[in-house]
Structure 1
Amino acid sequence: MDGVNAATTDPLARIAELPGVDEAVAEARTVVDRLLGHRVLRRRSADVSLESALRGAHASAVLDGAEAPLEQVRSGEADDPRVKGALRVSGELGQLVETWPKAPRQALARLHTLAAADGAGADRLGRPRSAAEQAEDPAGLGAPPAPIEVEVRLEALGALLERRSSAPAPVVSAVVHGELMALRPFGWGDGVVARAAERLVLIERGLDPKSLAAPELGHLQRREEYTAGLRAYLTGTPEGVRTWVLHCCAAIADGARDSLATCEALKRG
């Protein structure tokens, strides 16, 4: 009975109970746990985290339309504002871990300020778009909701996060990511913000406390599935949300496998 009551009052717990979600969450957690237990991390954890941040930022920027090669990003030569923003966001995620559960909208505003500093006017940084402002659509999702609906849904999302759902971290992070992509609340840099928020949830909720896995890489590697999953999420149906959550779990596992490969490369010297 307690479980039924929890599911009734916790919308994210209901999502966690959709068919196949529990298995997908378990698979993601297994791969992340394998990464966290790698021997290389005893000495080189910071190196793996740095590489993950770099590769994740590059992948997120590419998903938003950047064309800079990874090595150009690594060398600091990439001049694309989306790349610069994604790198700034990756560099500051750790500083937002404590803010996120208490004031998620404040954290989102900071993420946007970092992501859009080179792509949007100073007066637009960290604040939701107005009715007069257009929202970019690199994923081809169609017109986003009007600002008045964005405000209502952002408030609802913040309240949901502050209540501390019993749902596992991959489910919470998938819903945060999907909702932000559905709303595109800021108009420029929303994809980078949404994917950073997904990663922030995984850190804050303890699945990946050192930010070693890069789900952004999984989204890029499964780019067609990523777009299809977002469109499914936009339907608002249980099956659509389930499709999106399953994709996000797979992306987390892919990102963890990529960092496992980094660990193996460091072990070989």
Structure 2
Amino acid sequence: MTDPLADLTRLEGVGSAVAAAMAAVDTLLRDRGLRQLGDEEVAGSLLSQGRASAALAGVTEGPELLATVRLASELPQLADMLRERPAQALARLHTLWGRGIVPDADLGHPRDDAVAARRLASLLPVLRQPSEAPALVRAAVVEADLICFNAFGRGTGPVARAAAQGLLMAYGVDPRGVVPLAEGHRLLGGYQSRIAAYAVGSGGGVRDWLVHSAQALTRAVEASPVAERLRQD
């Protein structure tokens, strides 16, 4: 069986950037200890994830901010579904985000577009199939792909960023969701330009997005409420 995610990890600079990010997460969680993480720290991190995800879409107030924060808060219940039943999980994420914002008939349904349907069908195995690639690579590819083909129309960005965070949780990188990846992207900057370069489909654009995602995860470690608590202890 081919392993396209592992092939991406071998692109120049990707493996080292991902390894550095994973080491930063491991250090944070080892220093704090997963058993010592309180509900307040988890809730604070998920709130940060939601607010940052909204900010990346240019949203700072109103129903879409509330919807994106609500989406992040539900990730502990949905993370395993993303790994085991990705189509249902993505539909559920869009339904959670879109209730009261998009027409009821559109909730949880991909865009009625042949290209989008084909791209989504090819992406779903990426969420399921075994791979030797680090989970961060899987999460970054899913996030960028969903955004690039605008899987759900309105709400695609928040759903894609929630899916990436959920995959990091489901694959054990950040089981409790205390490292807010979207906040790392917000702090790092350049999110939209990196997504645009990825959409072109060149090896350089894909590589740059994967390196950027790894750097964002490292920044997310620094921004985590858990890291702040450790600095205060």
Smaller-chain TM-score range? over 0.9
CA radius of gyration, larger in: 1
Shift of 1:39: 3.5
Give TM-score, length-normalised by structure 2: 0.94
Q: Assess if the C-alpha contact under 8 Å between 1:96 and 1:107 holds in 2.
A: yes
Percentage of identical aligned residues: 37
Secondary structure at 1:98 match in 2 = helix
Specify every segment of 5 or more residues in structure 1 that has no aligned partner in the other structure, as ranges.
Answer: 1-5, 69-79, 131-146
Q: Assess if the C-alpha contact under 8 Å between 1:97 and 1:203 holds in 2.
A: yes
What residue number does 1:181 align with? 147
Specify every segment of 5 or more residues in structure 2 that has no aligned partner in the other structure, as ranges.
Answer: none
Shift of 1:173: 0.6
What residue number does 2:90 align with? 108
Task: For residues 63-118 of structure 1, give each alpha carbon's deviation from its aligned partner in whole angstroms, at most 9, with x where no partner exists.
Answer: 122123xxxxxxxxxxx121111122112111122222222111000000111113
Aligned Cα root-mean-square deviation (Å): 1.6
What residue number does 2:40 align with? 47
Q: 1:235 aligns with which of 189, 193, 200?
A: 200
Aligned equivalents of 2:145, 2:33: Cα separation in 1: 36
Q: 1:90 aligns with which of 68, 72, 87?
A: 72
Aligned equivalents of 1:175, 1:18: Cα separation in 2: 14
Shift of 1:40: 7.1
Q: Assess if the C-alpha contact under 8 Å between 1:40 and 1:263 holds in 2.
A: no
Task: For residues 108-153 of structure 1, give each alpha carbon's deviation from its aligned partner in whole angstroms, at most 9, with x where no partner exists.
Answer: 00000111113211111100123xxxxxxxxxxxxxxxx1011111
Instruction: Give the partner amino acid of 1:232.
Output: A
Task: For residues 180-205 of structure 1, give each alpha carbon's deviation from its aligned partner in whole angstroms, at most 9, with x where no partner exists.
Answer: 11011111111100100110111111
Shift of 1:42: 4.6
Aligned equivalents of 1:43, 1:206: Cα separation in 2: 17
Instruction: Give the partner amino acid of 1:257.
Output: E
Aligned equivalents of 2:139, 2:125: Cα separation in 1: 15
Shift of 1:238: 1.2
Instruction: Give the partner amino acid of 2:71.
Output: V
Secondary structure at 1:37 match in 2 = helix
Aligned equivalents of 1:153, 1:165: Cα separation in 2: 20
**What pairs with 1:245-256 in structure 2 (closer than 5 Å)?**
245-256=210-221
Aligned equivalents of 1:45, 1:23: Cα separation in 2: 32
What is the number of equivalent residue pairs in this alignment?
Answer: 232
Give TM-score, length-normalised by structure 1: 0.82
Instruction: Give the partner amino acid of 1:239.
Output: G
Q: Assess if the C-alpha contact under 8 Å between 2:94 and 2:155 holds in 1.
A: yes
Shift of 1:43: 3.6
Inter-CA distance 47–122: structure 2 relative to 1 (3 Å threshold): same
Runs of 4+ in structure 1 deviating by more than 4 angstroms, as ranges, are none
Aligned equivalents of 2:39, 2:8: Cα separation in 1: 34
Task: For residues 34-63 of structure 1, give each alpha carbon's deviation from its aligned partner in whole angstroms, at most 9, with x where no partner exists.
Answer: 210223755443222111101110011111
What residue number does 2:173 align with? 207
Q: Assess if the C-alpha contact under 8 Å between 1:84 and 1:118 holds in 2.
A: no
Task: For residues 205-242 of structure 1, give each alpha carbon's deviation from its aligned partner in whole angstroms, at most 9, with x where no partner exists.
Answer: 1111111100101111123x211110111111111100
Aligned equivalents of 2:165, 2:79: Cα separation in 1: 10
What residue number does 1:218 align with? 184
Matched, 1:169 2:151: no
Per mean C-alpha deviation after superposition, the further-off stretch among 53-62 and 91-100 is: 91-100
Matched, 1:192 2:158: yes
Aligned equivalents of 2:119, 2:177: Cα separation in 1: 28
